[in-house]
């Protein structure tokens, strides 16, 4: 049996930790990259057998592709902590060092939030190389950096944490006893991404201008042993996991989500009335967002839906959900290029649902437009931003007069119709229509064909022909149209 006191894996620590606790999301930069900001910290456990020393290697198992690094600040507990107050929590931390919370996204779905297999592999928690005395550093002014093959990939400070380091210690101590030698991995900032065999990862924690942990060095190697499917789940990846692991669709080598340029151009050519008619032919009548009017009547709106749900105003709920970085701000901060932010306001126009600052934010992010069945504050200033907006009208009151920002990226009811994230929205002077993504190609092609027929019919009527036999076309008119079309 290996003596833990001489085991090189734990050489940067006082000994083998009894437990390693890790935080899911803790840096604002990472949370914004993921499109969600937790209200409270959440945690998972890593086995102490995953701990490794600087200068070692980590194996990417055979048959996997998404091994990702996460540079983190590690806290080493010095004295037992149980139900400690926030103002005393840091007293229980003895040392600070660098860590790399490696994870295998190929196995993440199998264990949901527990991360046991995806983050518990041997060598998946390098720590070190040096320990910083916690008494000599400010927990609010530490810097974390990570490099891959010498290229800086992560650079953030504890000023960017959603939850301070002492708060993590105090919170955990409410639920379990933190014992001397335990390690807390405090989360990773934006910049985490996939590494491949041959890559060298370095992580460093320092107080700028002061002490440093030194660089924690880990080399990725390729494993040769496959997983046995007869024993348990096999690795599996999809585009969702690829985006999460790489950090973005572009970094993962995937095409942008949403509409292709060709499909978008087709949708821009077709009147909403023609699309509505085609949807009706397919049995979809309740797909118009009623009660909204365009802020710019000549503008066209085409994009994929992102959603924001507002619930009826209630003082106690607004106190819990309305302040700070609430669902409304998250929605406007994460809406993407070519997306339309759809706001469920229950047709309640007695307050604004957004104003000029948030309109500017959506415009800067490349959003295709905003649709709300509620009111708009700063109406003239929003109009000047230039982003297409459909709303129930202007209102000077703030959102909190009638609404509580509640949730994002869920199915919403806007203007009497259901909108799911990813639905296609098209708007013009007649209004806004919602098209299920699975139908959009068929619907737009049929609408373009119908528009061609309607154009020919309009020419015949303008020339003096009666609508009987033209609208709809009888056999004689159809033959005339076919001949006209063939001669074009």
**What residues form the annotated binding site?**
355-358, 377-378
The answer to whether 203 and 98 are in contact (CB under 8 A) is: yes
The backbone torsions φ and ψ at residue 280, rounded to the nearest 5 degrees and listed phi first, read -60, -40
Q: Return left, alpha or beta for 109; rule: phi > 0 is left, psi -120 to 50 is alpha, else beta.
A: alpha
The answer to whether 160 and 189 are in contact (CB under 8 A) is: yes
Four-residue CA torsion sign, 325, 424, 236, 192: negative
Residues 122 and 57: their CA atoms lie apart, in Å, by 10
User: SS in 3 state form for 27-70?
Assistant: EHHHHHHHCCCCCCCCEEEECHHHEECCCEEEEECCCCCCEECC
Residues 406 and 400: their CA atoms lie apart, in Å, by 12
**Contacting residues for 185 by C-beta, under 8 A, at least 6 apart:** 20, 21, 22, 23, 46, 72, 73, 74, 99, 101, 125
Annotated binding residues for Mg(2+), as ranges?
378
Annotated binding residues for substrate, as ranges?
355-358, 377
Beta bridge partners of 125: 51
**Contacting residues for 196 by C-beta, under 8 A, at least 6 apart:** 60, 67, 220
Q: Is residue 255 classed exposed, middle or buried when 0-12, 13-18 and 19+ CB atoms within 10 A define those classes? A: exposed
Whether the upstream peptide bond of residue 472 has omega within 30° of 0, thus cis, is: yes
Residues 378 and 269: their CA atoms lie apart, in Å, by 31
Residues 307 and 300: their CA atoms lie apart, in Å, by 19
């Amino acid at each position: 049996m290996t003596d833990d006191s001489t085991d090189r894996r734990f050489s940067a620590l006082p000994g083998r930790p009894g437990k390693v606790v890790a935080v899911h999301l803790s840096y604002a930069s990472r949370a914004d990259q993921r499109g969600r900001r937790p209200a409270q910290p959440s945690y998972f456990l890593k086995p102490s057998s995953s701990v490794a020393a600087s200068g070692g290697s980590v194996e990417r198992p055979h048959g996997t592709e998404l091994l990702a690094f996460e540079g983190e600040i590690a806290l080493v507990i010095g004295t037992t902590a149980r139900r400690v107050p926030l103002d005393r929590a840091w007293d229980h931390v003895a040392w600070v060092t660098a860590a790399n919370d490696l994870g295998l996204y190929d196995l993440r779905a199998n264990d949901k939030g527990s991360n046991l297999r995806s983050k518990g592999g041997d060598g998946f928690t390098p720590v070190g190389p040096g320990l910083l005395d916690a008494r000599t550093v400010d927990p609010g002014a530490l810097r974390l950096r990570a490099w891959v093959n010498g290229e800086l990939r992560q650079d953030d400070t504890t000023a960017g944490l959603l939850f301070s380091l002492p708060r993590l210690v105090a919170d955990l101590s409410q639920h379990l006893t933190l014992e001397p030698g335990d390690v807390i991995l405090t989360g990773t900032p934006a910049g985490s991404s996939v590494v491949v065999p041959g890559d060298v990862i370095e992580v460093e924690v320092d107080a700028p201008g002061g002490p440093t942990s030194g660089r924690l060095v880990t080399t990725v190697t390729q494993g040769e042993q496959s997983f046995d499917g007869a024993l348990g789940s096999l690795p599996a990846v999809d585009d969702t996991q690829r985006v999460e692991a790489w950090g973005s669709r572009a970094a993962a080598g995937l095409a942008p989500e949403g509409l292709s340029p060709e499909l978008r151009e087709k949708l821009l050519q077709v009147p909403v009335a023609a699309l509505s008619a085609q949807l009706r032919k397919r049995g979809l009548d309740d797909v118009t967002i009623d009660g909204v009017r365009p802020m710019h009547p000549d503008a066209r709106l085409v994009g994929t839906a992102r959603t924001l749900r507002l619930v009826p105003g209630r003082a106690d709920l607004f106190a819990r959900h309305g302040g700070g970085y609430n669902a409304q701000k998250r929605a406007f901060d994460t809406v993407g290029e070519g997306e339309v932010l759809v706001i469920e306001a229950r047709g309640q126009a007695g307050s604004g649902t957004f104003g000029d600052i948030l309109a500017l934010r959506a415009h800067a992010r490349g959003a295709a437009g905003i649709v709300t069945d509620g009111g708009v504050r700063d109406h003239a200033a929003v109009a000047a931003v230039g982003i297409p907006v459909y709303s129930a009208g202007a209102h000077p009151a703030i959102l909190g007069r009638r609404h509580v920002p509640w949730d994002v990226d869920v199915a919403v009811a806007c203007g009497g119709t259901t909108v799911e994230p990813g639905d296609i929205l098209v708007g013009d002077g007649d209004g806004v229509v919602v098209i299920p993504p699975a139908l959009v190609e068929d619907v737009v092609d049929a609408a373009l064909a119908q528009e061609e027929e309607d154009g020919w019919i309009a020419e015949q009527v303008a020339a003096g022909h009666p609508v009987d036999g033209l609208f709809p076309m009888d056999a004689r008119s159809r033959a005339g149209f076919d001949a006209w079309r063939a001669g074009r």
